[in-house]
Amino acid sequence: MLKMFKKLFLISLVIFVLSFTFFALINPLITNAYTITEELSIIGDLNISGTEVTLGSETFNQGKYMSFNLNQGGSKIYDDVHLHISTDDYLFLESRERVFVTTDLEV
C-alpha cells in the first residue's frame, strides 16, 4: 500500500512540475507573442506598389552621376550637378499640407 502511495505521489509530482513548466515558462511566451501582434497597427493607408527603384550603372562604372530609374516608362531622377526629375507624362507633388518651393520657379 505504501509503495502504491509513493508511486501515485511521484506521478502527481511529475504532472505538477510539467504543468508548472508550461504555465510559468511557456504560457508567458505565447501571451507575449499575442500581445506583440495586438500592438502592431498601421495608422492611415498602407500603399505598396510594384515599382522598383534601381541605381543606374553609370554611377559605378564611369563615375558620372547617380540615376534612379523608376521602371515606369521614361521616369527617372538624376543629379548631374543639377537635380533632374524626368517623367514621360504627368508629375504629381503630393502633400497633406503644403508644397514649398524655396527658390525662383520658372514654368
CB 81 within 8 A of CB 88: no
**What tens digit of pLDDT does each residue of 44-75 get?**
666 555 555 555 555 444 556 666 666 667 77
The mean pLDDT value of the chain amounts to 65
Tell me, what's the pLDDT at 37? 46
Identify which of 76, 54, 78 has the alpha carbon closest to the alpha carbon of residue 64: 78
What whole-number distance in Å separates Cα of residue 24 and Cα of residue 26?
Answer: 6
First-last CA distance in the chain = 102
CB 75 within 8 A of CB 88: yes
Q: Is the pTM of this model over 0.85?
A: no
Domain coordinates in residue numbering, the chain: 1-41, 45-107
